[in-house]
Chain A
Amino acid sequence: MAARIHGGAGAGAATALSTFNPKKLVAPPSRTNLPARNSKRYIVSAAAGSDGSKKSLLRVRHSQKLIANAAVATKAEESSAPTGTGHELLLFEALQEGLEEEMDRDPHVCVMGEDVGHYGGSYKVTKGLADKFGDLRVLDTPICENAFTGMGIGAAMTGLRPVIEGMNMGFLLLAFNQISNNCGMLHYTSGGQFTIPVVIRGPGGVGRQLGAEHSQRLESYFQSIPGIQMVACSTPYNAKGLMKAAIRSENPVILFEHVLLYNLKEKIPDEEYICNLEEAEMVRPGEHITILTYSRMRYHVMQAAKTLVNKGYDPEVIDIRSLKPFDLHTIGNSVKKTHRVLIVEECMRTGGIGASLTAAINENFHDYLDAPVMCLSSQDVPTPYAGTLEEWTVVQPAQIVTAVEQLCQ
C-alpha cells in the first residue's frame, strides 16, 4: 500500500495514510499505469490551513459509505467493522459535537444567529451550547441577517472567530452584501491586514415541500465571490470534520448543510479528527464512469449506483465536498481513469456548481474525456409546493441511471 502525498490543504501538506480494506474492493485491471488507487478508501487529513499545526489526527475510514433508502433521512446501513469503538450519532449531533469541541478549545469561537441560544437552534445544531457557554458566546440575534452577518465579520476583523448561522441559507441573501464585499474581499482590499476567520453555516437545499423561498441553493450565488471557501457536508463524519476544519481555517468558509440530511445516523470515531476543507471524498471507487456529486444528491446517486451495479456498471462516485475550490486533483485522477463524467447536483441548471464544474473539467481534462461531460441539475424553476412537482424539480435516481447508461454506450 502506498503512502501518498495527497493534494490536500494549501497550507502545509498533510501526509496521508492509506490502508487496504480487503472487504471492499475488487482490484480491477487498470487501463493506465495509475498506482493502486483501489487500496485507498479516501483520505482524511488534518486541515493544516488555520494555524499550520498538524495536531489533528489523521483518520482513515473503513466502514462502507452510507446508502440512504428511498426516504433520505433514515438510518443508514452499517456494514464493515468500524475502526475503534466509535459512537453513533445523527448528523446534527455531529455538527454540534464539532462546534462544541472547537468552542472548548478556543475561547475566541462564538456562535451567532437566530434562535441558536435558548431555543437550541432551529435544527438543534446548537442545542445545549448556550447553557454551557453563556449568552455572549452563543448569541441570539434579532432577525436582521445583514446586520448580524456584518457584525460577525466585524468581530472577526479583531480576531474573534464567529460561527454565523443562517436559519435557512436562503435568508443569507439579505446578507449578500456583507458576505461578498466584506467577508470575501476585506483580506484583499486591506492588503492582507485583516483576516476574516468566520464560518457561515446553515441548512439549504430542497426540503419536503417547504416552498420556493425556503428551498434555495445558495451555493450557486456565492460561488463567484472571491476570497471565500465553500464546503458541503453530507455525512455525520464529514459534517463534524468540516465544521472543525472550517472553524480553524483563517479564511471565511461557508458550510452548506442540507435540511433533509440532519437525521442521518452514522458511527464516528471517538478520537478527534478533522476533514480537509479542499478535498473531495471517494465514496465508491469504480472504473466505468465518474459521478461527481455533493450533499443530498450523493444519496440519490448511491441509490442509483445500486441499480447500476445490478445492471453491470461500475460507477465511481465522488462526493466533491469542496465547492470552492474544486478538488481537481481527485477529480482529475478519476477522469483520467474512467474517461466519462456525470455531474449530479441539486443546483439549478443555470449558473450552478455543476455548470462551473463542467467548465473546469472540460478546460483541464478535455483530452481524457471519451464523452461530453453530462450534468444533471434541478430545473430552472422556483421549487413548487406540490409534492409531485417538487420531486420533478430535483434529480431522481432513475434519471441518474438513464444518464449513466447513455454515457456508457
Chain B
Amino acid sequence: MALSRLSSRSTTLFQPLAAAFPTTLRRHISTDTTPITVETSLPFTSHLVEPPSRAVETSSSELLSFFRDMALMRRMEIAADSLYKAKLIRGFCHLYDGQEAVAIGMEAAITRRDAIITSYRDHCTFLGRGGGIFEAFSELMGRTTGCSKGKGGSMHFYKKDASFYGGHGIVGAQAPLGCGLAFAQKYSKEEAVTFTLYGDGAANQGQLFEALNIAALWDLPAVLVCENNHYGMGTAEWRSAKSPAYFKRGDYVPGLKVDGMDALAVKQACKFAKEHALKNGPIILEMDTYRYHGHSMSDPGSTYRTRDEISGVRQVRDPIDRVRKLIISHDIATEKELKDMEKEVRKEVDAAVAQAKESPIPEPSDLFTNIYVKGFGSESFGADRKELRATLP
C-alpha cells in the first residue's frame, strides 16, 4: 500500500482505508505539528481596519489535511457532474470546484460552534462542516439516506449538529437568516460567530444591506463573506455592480479582501474576522475566487467567458495545486504520495456514489412528513384536517 511507504519525515498516521464506506472528511492526524510559516500569495487589502499579517502559521498535518479534503471536494463535485449528465441528479446542481479553498480555510479557523450559512452552492461547505459524501450523494439523488432525507435536494443541505444552516435557493435570502443566527448567538451569549456566505450576485440584494445595517447597529457577531467568483450566473461583476469592491460596500462596516484561492490566506482572514466580530461587530470578507464550472449544470460556463480564462486560472491559481506545491516544497510528502492520496480519494468517492445509488427512494408517505412539527397526526393534507376526531352520526 502506498501509504506505508511514506517516509518517516512526517510520521504520519494515516488512518487505513479499511472502512468500506468512509463517510466523513478524515483529517489525517500527523504527529508532526511543528509550525510552518507560509506567506500568503497576496497581501490583504482592507477597508476601515488594519489587515492581518501575511505570514500564516500552519503545520504539515494541516497542509496534508487541506490537500486531502480539497481533493475530496473536487472529486465529489466532478462526480456530481457525471451523475447529473447521467440524469441521476436532476433539477439544479451548482458546483463548487475551484472555490474549495474558501470552505477549507474557513473550517481551519473556526469551531463547530460557529455557525455557517450559505447559498445553493453548498455541497463542499457541507463537507467542510463534517457532512459525509454518502449523505451528500444520497441527497443529490433524492434518496432517504440523504442529509435532508431526499426532500431538500442540491440546494438544501443542512447539518444542525455542526451548526451548518444550509443551503438556500433564493439569492441573498440567507443574509437576514445569518443575522438571525448571529443575533441568537449574542442573545445566548455564546461567544461564537456566524459566517454568512453569499456571492457577488447576491451582493446587490437590498436585504444584504438591511442585514448589514442591523448587524452593525446591534454589534452582532456576524462575518459576511462575499464569495466573489466574478460572475453572477452569466453576468460579469463589472456588468452588474457599479462598485465591484465588495469588501468596501459595507461602508461603515470594515472589510477585507482575500485571495480566495489560497487556503492559508482564507484561514488567516477568517481567524482575524472571528476575533473582530466577537469584539467589534460585523466585518465583510471578500474572497476573490473562481468557479470552473458554469453557474449550474445547465450553464456551459463558456458563453460569457473564454475557455482560456478558465484554463488560465486553473493553471495559475488552482487551490489544490497551490497546496500541493507547498507540501512538496516543504518536503512533507512526495508528488507520488500525493497522487496516491488523490487516487484513494477517488476510490472513496466512487464507493460512496455506488452506495448512494443503491439507497432507497422515499416512500409516498414521506411526502407529508416534516411539514409541521408534531402536527395533525403525522401528516398534513393541505388546509383541511382530513382526520375527523369523532364520529358523527
User: Contact at B375–A13, with CB atoms within 8 Å?
Assistant: no
User: Contact at B176–A149, with CB atoms within 8 Å?
Assistant: yes
CB of B238 closer than 8 Å to a CB of A: no
User: Contact at A148–B184, with CB atoms within 8 Å?
Assistant: no
Chain A residue total in the interface (Cβ 8 A):
69
B residues with a Cβ closer than 8 A to A are 115, 117, 146-153, 156, 158-160, 165-170, 173, 175-181, 183-188, 206-207, 210-211, 213-214, 217-218, 369-377, 380, 382-385, 387-390, 392-393
CB of A20 closer than 8 Å to a CB of B: no
- Among candidates B146, B153, B173, B388, residue contacting A332 with C-beta atoms closer than 8 Å: B388
CB of A132 closer than 8 Å to a CB of B: no
Residues of A within 8 A of B159 (CB): 193
How far does the alpha carbon of A149 sit from the alpha carbon of B176 in the complex, in Å?
8
CB of A328 closer than 8 Å to a CB of B: yes
In angstroms, how far is the closest chain B Cβ from the Cβ of A158?
4
Residues of B within 8 A of A34 (CB): 392-393
User: Contact at A154–B184, with CB atoms within 8 Å?
Assistant: yes
Residues of B within 8 A of A52 (CB): 374
Q: Which residue of chain A is the closest to B157 with respect to CB atoms?
A: A190
Residues of B within 8 A of A53 (CB): none
How far does the alpha carbon of A193 sit from the alpha carbon of B165 in the complex, in Å?
10
From 263 to 312 in chain A, residues with beta carbon under 8 angstroms from any chain B beta carbon are 278
Q: Which residue of chain B is the closest to A156 with respect to CB atoms?
A: B180
A residues with a Cβ closer than 8 A to B are 4-8, 10-11, 13, 32-34, 49, 52, 110, 136-137, 139, 141-142, 144, 146-160, 177-178, 181-182, 186-195, 223, 226-227, 229, 250-251, 278, 324-329, 332-333, 336, 356, 360, 363-364
In angstroms, how far is the closest chain B Cβ from the Cβ of A132?
16
Classify the interface of chain B: helix, strand, loop or mixed. Answer: loop
Q: Which residue of chain A is the closest to B212 with respect to CB atoms?
A: A147
Residues of B within 8 A of A146 (CB): 176, 206-207, 210
Q: Which residue of chain B is the closest to A323 with respect to CB atoms?
A: B383
In angstroms, how far is the closest chain B Cβ from the Cβ of A33?
4
How far does the alpha carbon of A155 sit from the alpha carbon of B177 in the complex, in Å?
7
User: Contact at A153–B384, with CB atoms within 8 Å?
Assistant: no
User: Contact at B210–A147, with CB atoms within 8 Å?
Assistant: yes
Residue of B151, B169, B207, B393 most packed against chain A (CB within 10 A): B207
In angstroms, how far is the closest chain B Cβ from the Cβ of A70?
33
User: Contact at A364–B384, with CB atoms within 8 Å?
Assistant: yes
User: Contact at B180–A7, with CB atoms within 8 Å?
Assistant: no
- Among candidates A153, A251, A329, residue contacting B180 with C-beta atoms closer than 8 Å: A153
A-B contact pairs, 25 of them (CB 8 A): A6-B390, A7-B388, A10-B372, A10-B374, A34-B393, A52-B374, A137-B187, A144-B213, A146-B176, A146-B207, A147-B175, A147-B176, A151-B179, A151-B180, A154-B165, A154-B178, A159-B184, A178-B177, A187-B372, A190-B167, A191-B151, A191-B152, A195-B373, A227-B371, A328-B384
